[in-house]
């Protein structure tokens, strides 16, 4: 990394650490715990539904964090490869405003919308 990229490299490293901590917390919070009794879907559907909705929300949050973490890691690699700021798909420059708003962006807006 060149000295001009050090603040960006530090920002990305800090973001990676933050995301890894969030994932670890989410994963430990979602581990099954011993519940006395069982969920009786026939008696109180609301309880089972709220548990299912909560679990789906946790899975979605986990998936979003995993994707962001992958992008942060890729952005850090691109800094080292001196390809930071260029789209991974079309290889065009990523607009500065996008990189300012989302420093770990690895695709331009057009290519990101295709995902």
Q: pLDDT tens across 37-69, in order?
A: 455 555 555 667 888 888 888 888 999 999 999
Q: Is pLDDT above 90 for 26? A: no
> What confidence tens digit (pLDDT) does each residue in 72-115 have?
999 999 999 999 999 999 999 999 999 999 999 999 999 999 97
pLDDT of residue 102: 96
String of b and e for 52-68 (b: at least 16 CB within 10 Å)? eeeeeeeeeeeeebeeb
Q: Which residues pair with 36 in a beta bridge?
A: none
Q: What was the pLDDT predicted at 35? A: 46
What's the pTM?
0.73
> What kind of fold does domain 3-22+46-113 have according to CATH?
1.20.120
CA gap 74, 56 in Å, rounded:
27
Q: Name the band, by pLDDT with cuts 50, 70 and 90, for residue 21.
A: very high
Domain residue spans in the chain?
A: 3-22+46-113
């Amino acid at each position: 990394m060149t000295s001009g990229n050090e603040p960006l490299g530090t920002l990305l490293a800090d973001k990676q650490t933050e995301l890894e901590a969030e994932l670890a917390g989410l994963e430990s919070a979602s581990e099954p715990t011993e519940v006395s009794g069982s969920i009786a879907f026939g008696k109180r559907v609301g309880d089972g539904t709220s548990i299912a909705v909560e679990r789906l929300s946790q899975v979605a949050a986990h998936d979003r964090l995993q994707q962001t973490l992958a992008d942060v890691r890729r952005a850090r690699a691109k800094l080292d490869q001196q390809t930071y700021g260029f789209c991974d798909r079309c290889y065009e420059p990523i607009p500065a405003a996008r990189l300012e708003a989302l420093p770990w962006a690895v695709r331009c807006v057009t290519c990101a919308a295709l995902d």
